Structure 1
Amino acid sequence: MKEYRPQEIEPKWQKVWEEKKVFETPQYSEKPKYYALVMFPYPSGTLHVGHVKNYTIGDIVARYKRMQGYNVLHPFGYDAFGLPAENAAIAHKIHPKKWTMDNINTIRGQIKKMGISYDWNREVITCNEDYYKWTQWIFLKLYEAGLAYKKPGAVNWCPSCQTVLANEQVKDGKCERCGTTVTMKHLEQWYFKITDYAEKLLEGLDRLPGWPEHVKTMQRNWIGKSTGAEVDFPVEGLDKKIRIFTTRPDTIYGVTFMAIAPESPLVLELVTDEKRKEVEEFLARVALEDRFKRTSLEAKKEGVFLGRYAINPLTGERIPIYVANYILYEYGTGAIMAVPAHDKRDFDFAKAYGLPIKQVIKPKEGDWNIEEAPYEDEGVMINSGPFDGLDSKKGIEEVIKYIEEKGYGKRSVQYKLRDWLISRQRYWGAPIPIIYCDKCGIVPVPEKNLPVKLPENVEFLPTGQSPLTLSEEFKHTTCPKCGGPAHREVETMDTFVDSSWYFLRYVNPKLEDKPFDTSDVNYWLPVDQYIGGVEHAVLHLLYSRFITKVLHDLGYVGFDEPFQNLFTQGMIYKDGWKMSKSKGNVVSPDDMIEKYGADTLRMYILFMAPPEKDAEWSDAGIEGVNRFVKRLWNNYYKMLDIINSQDGEESEFGKEEKALRRKLHAMIKKIKEDIEGGFKFNTAIAGLMEFNNQLSDYLETVQKPNKKLLREIAEKIALIISPFAPHMAEEMWHDLGKETLIVEERWPDYDEEALKEEEITIVVQVNGKVRGRITVPADSSEDQIKEKAVENVKKLVEGKQIVNIFYVPGKLVNIVVK
């Protein structure tokens, strides 16, 4: 019998697939299209089995859909710009491009060893000029549409990475990449106006039934829509107003102080000379604190009185103005009307500084001690002038109407979402295509002059400035408008800009005169199945949706959502930790392939847990799957030996054959349902294992196995395992005498007739207790089954009156006697 040698058969079939260009996708086809896409990796080193899980899931989907008759687009690429390459350049004196391309070559080789069915002709590398030229083009399109702009502002600064971070890249006050505490810095930065699309981004989520609900919830929470009112509070003695946004205008009569965020320019505008030194010292101290921790509910509330008062427009009362550490500049207007009786943070601040607490909402039933804790629920308005006695929910509407009538403010919708900060003070990114001219001001680089190329010869020093600022050759240029001397923007774009449109470039990766062909992307997009980690729920997915909607509104694409279905896979842990080099718990796919073969690794990754769940790597687990793979192989070649020998029967199927064929077609049906019903690959493989056990029993116990049945099983088994263990399947198919490639074959159908059982076993109960079992022909009538059931328990019911007989079709008969 032929021995299983994956180290020989896997490279053999990989070479055949490559030579025959099996996975190259025609741009158009009579077949229905299917775009299967996994999130592309950042090439920071070699892959571990956690990465491979993502690509294996995607490959199962692509291979299965191909076998179902779809024209499948299944491309791959690399999110190749980013800070780690620059850090490597500093640490190892190696150019970021060389470091990146070396890693890409390693990763490409690892993926090919796994037998992943990518169309390598469509490979995209975001740090190549033929890609980032079009990233710059997208910037220009947003700039032309008024969606890219520059403004000064407080930004998140990572002292270690020496760069600006978007809000989404700050986790618990620390840099997402290196874990250093993030500080504040005031810089002029470029932004994309994603806030203009807040409502469209929210509304679009309702049209994505193929997305996990928890991912949509994360995006809704990040966008953070709030409905309320904007109200202007005049500053006493100055021709200034403090505009606040509140979702609870029903509490406006309870305002006892105003609070402004430390980062707001208003603070230094309003502070009196007497208070300036104290306020500046407070601001300096707060600037060193973690913004996100200081604004948490539990954090200590601190502030300083600015020496100024505002006037409540509805009551005329003087209200002290404070700078307070618990106010976020990014949310609302960066200033609040503080109502300590009805907000926990305001309450804590008021208690700390001895400020009044004025109750204006009371519970509908019972009393509330407002000195003990704030009352934050709905209720009845009190101490609120003409609104006393109103239900607070209705009061919100009535107060807004009153504010609008009097000209004190207006109804407003606000979002937590802030504009997307895209400036990065680093080299290894797409240069922002902007020129500064003393005469003409800000001038966009003309399209014909793209790409603005990164200079090769730059110095990598962690100075806090982009290394491009040190390149005289790069900086100095000519103004495209007036022809005079000018200088380039020396900052590069956030790498999330690169990844916000890469799925479009796969459609036309070699197109030179535009980023993509509109008719081609309208054929392929939206992506039918997108697969990746849930950690990208807010950043990458939100930005990709935004850029797609902009391109749609500008007329470049005919769809406004990029991903029709989304699947988020779980992580693979080892020793209870996420795999990382620093923890020393990385499992290399190369090592596993060398020891067990790629097919075993693929099968184990899919079998270890439902793919959406996290799973713990087990060396014993992959050993167990390897034993199964070998048993399946051995059974297969036992069948081939019988098929090709003089032994075995060609006669009609007996009882054992019919039972095994029934199991075969039940397995085919189940695996199809498992794949299509939520990617239940683990239970699909479990079904394959169960059938293999039944096949073993048949081969070991039946003296002359039926050749006709074995031919059918051999053919179906090879087809069924093809998406999961493609190399093994090709070898089996070839040895079965087939001349085609199995990857080009159709997925097998199951036979409904074969699933029908000739005999069924029925449980017999007497007064609800099991007293026997009967075997009857599957087509027996209800009366026949009841009659046989009574006969089966004849001794137990003799001399008793049968009151009723209940029949549950195909399962049981319950005889009620007294």
Structure 2
Amino acid sequence: MGFGKYEPELIENKWQKEWTDKGAFHVEADESRPKYYVLEMFPYPSGKIHMGHVRNYSIGDVVARYKRMKGFNVLHPMGWDAFGLPAENAAIKNNTHPAEWTYANIDDMRTQLKRLGYSYDWRRELATCHPGYYRWEQKFFLKFLEKGLLYRKKSPVNWCETCHTVLANEQVEDGLCWRCDTQVEQKELAQWFLRITDYAEELLESLNELEGGWPERVITMQRNWIGKSIGAELDFEVEESGDTISVFTTRPDTLYGATFMSLAAEHPMVEKLIEGRPEADKVRQFVHKVTNMDRFQRAADDLEKEGVFTGAYCINPLNGLKMPIYVANFVLMGYGTGAVMAVPAHDQRDYEFATKYKLPMQIVIQPEGQTLDLAEMTAAYSEPGVLVNSAEFNGMPNEEAKGAIVEYLGKSGKGKKSINYRLRDWNISRQRFWGAPIPVIYCDDCGIVPVPEKDLPVVLPEDAVMNEDGRSPLPQMESFINVTCPKCGKAAKRETDTMDTFVESSWYFMRYTDARKEDEAFDSRALEYWSPVDQYIGGIEHAILHLLYARFFTKLLRDEGYTKIGEPFKNLLTQGMVLKDGAKMSKSKGNVVDPNAMINRYGADATRLFILFASPPEKDLEWSDQGIEGAYRFLNRIWRLAEDLDGKLSPVGACAKPAAELPSDAKKLRLKEHETVQRASRDMENKFQFNTVIAATMELVNEIYALKDALVDSEDGRFALSSAFSTVLTVLSPIAPHICEEIWAALGYKGCIAEVAWPEFDESAMVTDEILIIIQVNGKMRGKLSVPAAATKEEIEETALAHENVTKHIEGQTIRKVIVVPGKLINIVAN
């Protein structure tokens, strides 16, 4: 063929059509073949892909193509995380229905992704906003409700006034809405909760299974979020009432030092404690103030500690001390019991509070060999030590005392060992329109009634008109809310809350295994074959939210009999961000690089090549206009090489084995070829270091250019050139697939390069007749020496001493010692 000018768009469109027509990436479960499931976190259909998408999906595509070449049956699907506030807000702005806006964006983004040549099985495409998807989610809801894993309760929740919806704890970042940065308020609402706390211990323990496959940073973040604390639950009697207040503490060893109690403003005992007391009004005013504070501000270390005395007292269960009960702004109901035994001498928050309100302190732990004095203390002492002022426990190391004191209290029924978790149940109710409807009905006579399974899905109305202020239109839509109770037949109301969009993304990876199944959420055999996901790829920002919920949901579905796996993602790669001028790309910074513009100018292959070459996948990548120019030039260099060799080579395959001994230049090229494959294979397997794979391929291309004129005129030389160039194309094809397919076909190969096997390097090809020796004089390098591989120490020494630069540096000196390290270096010691 005549090559002519390299025109990426023509080549890329041609091969994308070829792959589509052949169904090249269609895949089915096949028990006779090893499977590999590679998945990138699916995108939100905003209407336009960005460079972060290009990086994420290019990484996944290289993995998928490489694993196919290694003989795996590869599942590589794509879909759309399509519900959520941005679609609803955009629909309001454009005076349209969110569905219309979303599906138009999906069409645009699908076209963009196809233009990049990603090897997806598009038959499995799904959109979470489609009733054919969320009907199964509604079925899960009903099953979880039946099992008691879902419940509805009125509680203080995180409310974003801008988004007009509730946020889960994980969706509040530094007191702000994770989507719009609005200050989050506390609001009392009836909400639906999933009992993720029932799985707290398993979620924590099974993180051990992920070590080595997940980044340690992500595992640590999840462990910290689950927040397991081992301690004790202690009961304090309220004076003259017969009531008790339970306290969770990790420091029962300090109980003799407890001098007052602090309650959260939301604690259910507060109102009872203050009833009829003169302090009541003051306490209520304080409670109102504190409950309207930001939850994260209340937990901050630098919060000014404030409180108010309730007028009530409790009794220390160890020493009988009468302790005043305060309501304090730094105590939260979300941790432990919402009540804290205050030990100001040994807890900094309590120390600051006691100092401010002039409350008593008692030292009960002394450091080894030292004596603390309250008059000299400027901060709480929280380090290890031995007990003092603690009756029969005096002199006991404090760690030992923890168990001893709990055991002592247990005998009188005033305390017991306890485990507490920071993790709270998952609030899945959202007060917006564009989400999966919650399938329950409210009846005045029957209460909460599940929608019968035969009536699923409960579909979002297509005729809904969006409210300009963002409030959901569902509560005003009589055609939606007015229904008949399935139990008694009387008039009833449908739930108008929709589900948190993280519910959809918690199981989509399972639906991909048979995305068109209409009579059930999954095909059990396909799900069992493909699960778990072997390689998951996405941003570190999902370390807690999405990944924790997906792990939890997998365990729920396992316990419902849908799957046998407990962990959804065997390996996780968290790719770095794409930066421009040192900052994350954003319109506000004016540093956005449009992928479409890059593809139109340089082609999909060059765009992919640059974004994979510029940085290892897990590191941030700095966009460089010069870098993508360089990637484009390299592909042109390969194109010109193909043009130079056109008609001169017969196809022999990558890493082809010669029939006889090759001459020196051909052997030299074969050596470089097999070294390249060895390095590329290692780096593909070792955390997908595509940048070094590309670098190795570039070096092989340089070697071909350097030797081609010397080799092209002989049969052995042409054999070596054909094999080496075929290796370049094969190794590079997962990264820049279109140009490699085009040249592969031009070389005379049958079929797509995407279907060939990954080359295997030959150890014998890397045995060389000569080795390179470094020459040092007094430890400093003075030259290099090529010697026969079989050369003796004496022969190496003799040759090195005759080296021109060595004789210059030892002139007039006496040689004291010659050290030969076989195969590496020779060091001549002289003075």
TM tier relative to shorter chain: over 0.9
Out of 305, 314, 330, the position equivalent to 2:309 is 305
Further displaced range: 370-379 or 692-701: 692-701
How far did residue 780 of structure 1 move?
3.8
**Alpha-carbon displacement from aligned partner over 1:648-689 (angstroms, at most 9, x marks no partner):** xx9974433322221122111111111111111111112222
> Is the aligned partner of 1:396 residue 2:402?
yes
What does 1:544-693 correspond to in 2, within 5 Å? 544-640=550-646, 642-643=648-649, 653-693=662-702
Look up the match of 2:656: none
Q: Would the aligned equivalents of 2:238 and 2:313 in 1 still touch at CA under 8 Å?
A: yes
* Residue type at the aligned position of 2:528: N
> Is the aligned partner of 1:451 residue 2:473?
no
Look up the match of 1:77: 79
Further displaced range: 364-373 or 249-258: 364-373
How far did residue 776 of structure 1 move?
2.2
Look up the match of 2:91: 89
Look up the match of 1:329: 333
> Is the aligned partner of 1:320 residue 2:324?
yes
Look up the match of 2:246: 243
**Alpha-carbon displacement from aligned partner over 1:572-621 (angstroms, at most 9, x marks no partner):** 01233222233332211111000000000000111111110112212122
Identity between Structure 1 and Structure 2 (%): 53
How far did residue 465 of structure 1 move?
5.9
- With over 3 angstroms needed to count, the CA separation of the structure-2 counterparts of 1:767 and 1:197, relative to structure 1, is same
Look up the match of 1:162: 164
What SS does the aligned partner of 1:507 have?
helix
How far did residue 562 of structure 1 move?
0.7
- With over 3 angstroms needed to count, the CA separation of the structure-2 counterparts of 1:632 and 1:269, relative to structure 1, is farther
Distance 1:375 1:778 in 2: 68
**Alpha-carbon displacement from aligned partner over 1:207-236 (angstroms, at most 9, x marks no partner):** 113111111101000000000000111112
Structure 1 unmatched runs, 5+: none
How far did residue 309 of structure 1 move?
1.3
Out of 387, 397, 406, the position equivalent to 1:381 is 387
Out of 483, 498, 502, the position equivalent to 2:508 is 502
Out of 342, 345, 350, the position equivalent to 1:346 is 350
Distance 2:614 2:159 in 1: 41
Distance 1:414 1:66 in 2: 46
Distance 1:794 1:494 in 2: 78
Out of 7, 31, 56, the position equivalent to 1:54 is 56
Distance 1:652 1:752 in 2: 15
- With over 3 angstroms needed to count, the CA separation of the structure-2 counterparts of 1:542 and 1:771, relative to structure 1, is closer
Distance 1:49 1:571 in 2: 9
- With over 3 angstroms needed to count, the CA separation of the structure-2 counterparts of 1:437 and 1:123, relative to structure 1, is same
Distance 2:368 2:664 in 1: 74
**Alpha-carbon displacement from aligned partner over 1:267-288 (angstroms, at most 9, x marks no partner):** 2332244223222322333344
How far did residue 750 of structure 1 move?
1.7
Distance 1:25 1:369 in 2: 74
What SS does the aligned partner of 1:151 have?
strand
Q: Would the aligned equivalents of 1:569 and 1:612 in 2 still touch at CA under 8 Å?
A: yes
Out of 730, 742, 745, the position equivalent to 1:731 is 742
Out of 746, 750, 756, the position equivalent to 2:767 is 756
Look up the match of 1:742: 753
Q: Would the aligned equivalents of 2:613 and 2:692 in 1 still touch at CA under 8 Å?
A: yes
> Is the aligned partner of 1:716 residue 2:727?
yes
* Residue type at the aligned position of 2:289: R
How far did residue 256 of structure 1 move?
1.7
Distance 2:736 2:325 in 1: 69
* Residue type at the aligned position of 2:630: G
Distance 2:203 2:699 in 1: 46
How far did residue 354 of structure 1 move?
1.3
> Is the aligned partner of 1:262 residue 2:273?
no
Further displaced range: 439-448 or 41-50: 439-448
Out of 227, 231, 237, the position equivalent to 2:234 is 231
How far did residue 550 of structure 1 move?
1.5
What does 1:357-506 correspond to in 2, within 5 Å? 357-370=361-374, 371-461=377-467, 466-506=472-512
Look up the match of 1:520: 526
- With over 3 angstroms needed to count, the CA separation of the structure-2 counterparts of 1:389 and 1:623, relative to structure 1, is same
- With over 3 angstroms needed to count, the CA separation of the structure-2 counterparts of 1:69 and 1:703, relative to structure 1, is closer
Distance 1:702 1:299 in 2: 76
Q: Would the aligned equivalents of 1:169 and 1:175 in 2 still touch at CA under 8 Å?
A: yes
How far did residue 699 of structure 1 move?
3.8
Q: Would the aligned equivalents of 1:458 and 1:470 in 2 still touch at CA under 8 Å?
A: no
Look up the match of 1:696: 705
Out of 539, 543, 548, the position equivalent to 1:537 is 543
Further displaced range: 42-51 or 271-280: 271-280
Distance 2:110 2:777 in 1: 67
Further displaced range: 278-287 or 343-352: 278-287
Look up the match of 1:295: 299
Distance 2:358 2:781 in 1: 76
How far did residue 45 of structure 1 move?
2.9
> Is the aligned partner of 1:812 residue 2:825?
yes
> Is the aligned partner of 1:147 residue 2:160?
no
- With over 3 angstroms needed to count, the CA separation of the structure-2 counterparts of 1:236 and 1:674, relative to structure 1, is same
Distance 1:804 1:129 in 2: 83
* Residue type at the aligned position of 2:688: F
Distance 2:781 2:605 in 1: 47
Distance 1:622 1:667 in 2: 23
How far did residue 772 of structure 1 move?
6.1
Distance 1:782 1:435 in 2: 90
Further displaced range: 299-308 or 361-370: 361-370
Distance 2:343 2:613 in 1: 56
Q: Would the aligned equivalents of 1:37 and 1:75 in 2 still touch at CA under 8 Å?
A: yes
How far did residue 805 of structure 1 move?
5.9
Distance 2:482 2:128 in 1: 25
* Residue type at the aligned position of 1:753: S
* Residue type at the aligned position of 1:730: E
How far did residue 803 of structure 1 move?
8.4
How far did residue 409 of structure 1 move?
1.8
What SS does the aligned partner of 1:510 have?
coil
Distance 2:643 2:81 in 1: 44
What SS does the aligned partner of 2:279 have?
helix
Q: Would the aligned equivalents of 1:611 and 1:680 in 2 still touch at CA under 8 Å?
A: yes
Aligned Cα root-mean-square deviation (Å): 2.5
Look up the match of 2:655: none
Distance 2:575 2:49 in 1: 16
**Alpha-carbon displacement from aligned partner over 1:227-261 (angstroms, at most 9, x marks no partner):** 00001111123232211100000011111221111
What SS does the aligned partner of 1:155 have?
strand
Distance 1:772 1:745 in 2: 44
Distance 2:303 2:135 in 1: 46
Distance 2:313 2:470 in 1: 40
How far did residue 643 of structure 1 move?
3.4
Size of the aligned set, in residue pairs, is 814
How far did residue 462 of structure 1 move?
6.3
Distance 1:817 1:603 in 2: 51
What does 1:756-795 correspond to in 2, within 5 Å? 756-765=767-776, 768=779, 773-780=784-791, 785=796
Structure 2 unmatched runs, 5+: 652-658
How far did residue 765 of structure 1 move?
4.9
Further displaced range: 773-782 or 170-179: 773-782
- With over 3 angstroms needed to count, the CA separation of the structure-2 counterparts of 1:769 and 1:179, relative to structure 1, is closer
Q: Would the aligned equivalents of 2:483 and 2:493 in 1 still touch at CA under 8 Å?
A: yes
Look up the match of 2:17: 15
Q: Would the aligned equivalents of 1:49 and 1:588 in 2 still touch at CA under 8 Å?
A: yes
What SS does the aligned partner of 2:588 have?
helix
What SS does the aligned partner of 2:239 have?
coil
**Alpha-carbon displacement from aligned partner over 1:319-366 (angstroms, at most 9, x marks no partner):** 111111111211111111111111111111111111112111111122
Distance 2:602 2:291 in 1: 55
Distance 1:808 1:284 in 2: 79
What SS does the aligned partner of 1:206 have?
helix
